[in-house]
Chains A and B, each alone.
Chain A
Amino acid sequence: MDYLDIISGLLSFLFTIFVLSYLVGDNPLFRITIYIFVGAAAGYVGSVIVWQVLKPQLWDKGIAAIFGGTLVDQLLILLPLLGAALILTKISSRMAGFARLPMAFLVGAGAAVTIGGALLGTLLPQMEATINFFDPQLAAARNIHALEVMGNGAVILFGVVTSLAYFHFGARQNANGTMHRFGLIEIIAWVGRIFIGVTLGAIFAGVFAAALTAFIERFSSLIDFINKLIGIF
Chain B
Amino acid sequence: MRVLTAVIAIAFGILILLGYFLPQAAIIQTILLNWAVILTGVAALVGLVNLMIVHMDKVRRSEKGSIYSAILVLVMVLTFFAGVILRPDHLLMRKVILDGIILPVEAMLMGLLTVTLLYAAIRMLRKRADVMGIVFILTAALLFLGSATLPFGDVPVFGTLIRPWFTQIFALGGARGILIGVALGTLVTGLRVLFGMDRPYGGK
Q: Do chains A and B touch in the complex (CB under 8 A)?
A: yes
Instruction: Contacts A46-B48, A118-B183, A208-B117 given; indicate if A198 touches B17 (C-beta within 8 A).
Output: no
- Among A38, A88, A90, A157, chain B packs the most CB atoms within 10 A around the CB of A38
Contact A7 B96 (CB under 8 A): yes
Whole-angstrom distance from the CB of A193 to the nearest CB of chain B? Answer: 5
Contact A218 B17 (CB under 8 A): no
Instruction: Contacts A4-B92, A163-B177, A197-B131 given; indicate if A105 touches B35 (C-beta within 8 A).
Output: yes
Q: Mark A31-63, 1 if CB is under 8 A from B, else 0.
A: 111111111111111111111111001100000
Q: Mark B189-204, 1 if CB is under 8 A from A, else 0.
A: 1110110000111110
Whole-angstrom distance from the CB of B159 to the nearest CB of chain A? Answer: 13
Contact B171 A116 (CB under 8 A): no
Instruction: Contacts A104-B5, A105-B36, A111-B189 given; indicate if A155 touches B46 (C-beta within 8 A).
Output: no
Q: Mark A5-39, 1 if CB is under 8 A from B, else 0.
A: 10111111101100110110000000111111111
Q: Does B125 contact A (CB under 8 A)?
A: no
Q: Interface range on chain A: under 10, 10 to 19, 20 to 34, or 35 or more? A: 35 or more
The residues of B that contact A136 with a CB separation of less than 8 Å are none
Interface residues of B, dominant DSSP: helix
- Among A5, A193, A207, A218, chain B packs the most CB atoms within 10 A around the CB of A218
Q: Interface range on chain B: under 10, 10 to 19, 20 to 34, or 35 or more? A: 35 or more
A202 to B139, CA, bound (A): 6
Whole-angstrom distance from the CB of A223 to the nearest CB of chain B? Answer: 14
Whole-angstrom distance from the CB of B111 to the nearest CB of chain A? Answer: 3
The residues of B that contact A101 with a CB separation of less than 8 Å are 4-5, 8
Whole-angstrom distance from the CB of A143 to the nearest CB of chain B? Answer: 16
A218 contact from B111, B139, B169, B170, Cβ within 8 A: B111
B39 contact from A43, A44, A50, A83, Cβ within 8 A: A83
B111 contact from A108, A109, A211, Cβ within 8 A: A211
